[in-house]
Amino acid sequence: MIDVRMGGIRIEQRIIQIKSPAHYNGWTMTQTWEHLLFLHWAISPASIEALIPAGLELDTYDGKAWISMIPFLLSGVRLRRMPSVPFTTTFPEINVRTYVKAKGKTGVYFLSLDTSNPLVIKIAKFWYRLPYYRAQMTFHRQVDQIDFTSRRLSGLPQSPSFEGSYQPLADKFLAKEGTLVHWLTERYTLFCSCNRTKQMMFADVVHEPWQLQETAFHIRENSMTENLSIPLTDSPHLALYSRGVQSLIWPIRSLADLSADQDG
């Protein structure tokens, strides 16, 4: 588990010191993300633009769009001033995301999020309008090697699936500003769309900068984007590992609020 104290300072306070003291009081949920494998593919903007909702603009790096797949272990789900949410102790998740911007704010747009926890799916869909799916998943860690499997419970013969193993290598490092690694990993806004009104929404996410490591990995199966008609090469263009972070998540808000924030 991630240590919730750093030098005697509660990590929740430390996270806010990194970002903005004025931002502290607004968060509503905390989660801990552990043993993450960041898999990144460069793709042509044309191959994904149709999946980006109106109100968002595809964000690119040197003319390329990127799609990322991140298997990890999620724990410590807790609402502010409340105990941990029952039945959400520790469970695996894998998400598929791309990179977008709106009104000068950069962030991520999730194409899918798969987890084995049905309660978390209900919470995330209701509060954050995120495209969560239930999946049969396993997460096994032996020393430093992690084996991860996921198969979406869609009832279809070819359900989106992932199976692979990974382990960290070398020393930890922080991504340098201006680099591709920083552009891909240091994202602190999620964008989503309300299914009923199609209104674009966003939520702020705060955590300490990622401590990253090179990784050795082996992907045995990956069909997570086939239903999206996004072709990916067998091997990603970039792969990294992180031991994890504790995150704070703010309430979902309309993009109109984003304009008001900037005007103020």
Candidates 3.30.1540.20, 3.30.43.10, 1.20.120.530, 2.40.400.10; CATH matching 25-263: 2.40.400.10
DSSP state of 194: -
For 188, the token pair is 């602190």
| Angstrom distance (rounded) from CA 137 to CA 243 | 20
Contact 201, 193 (CB under 8 A): yes
| Angstrom distance (rounded) from CA 138 to CA 150 | 7
Contact 103, 56 (CB under 8 A): no
H-state helical runs in 39-198? 118-128, 180-185
Residue range 65-121, pLDDT digits in tens: 999 999 999 988 877 776 665 556 789 999 999 999 999 999 999 999 999 988 888
| Angstrom distance (rounded) from CA 112 to CA 131 | 5
Cα within 13 Å of Cα(102), Cβ side: 23
Contact 190, 128 (CB under 8 A): yes
| Angstrom distance (rounded) from CA 84 to CA 159 | 32
- Give the per-residue SS3 of 127-168: HHCCCEEEEEEEEEEECCEEEEEEEECCCCCCCCEEEEEEEE
Pairing assessment for the beta strands 132-142 and 105-115 based on DSSP bridges:
parallel
The DSSP bridge partners found for residue 149 are: 138, 163
User: Quick one: pLDDT at residue 264?
Assistant: 36
Residue range 4-59, pLDDT digits in tens: 433 334 556 666 555 555 555 678 888 899 999 999 999 999 999 999 999 999 99
Residue range 144-175, pLDDT digits in tens: 999 999 999 977 767 999 999 999 998 999 99
pTM: 0.89
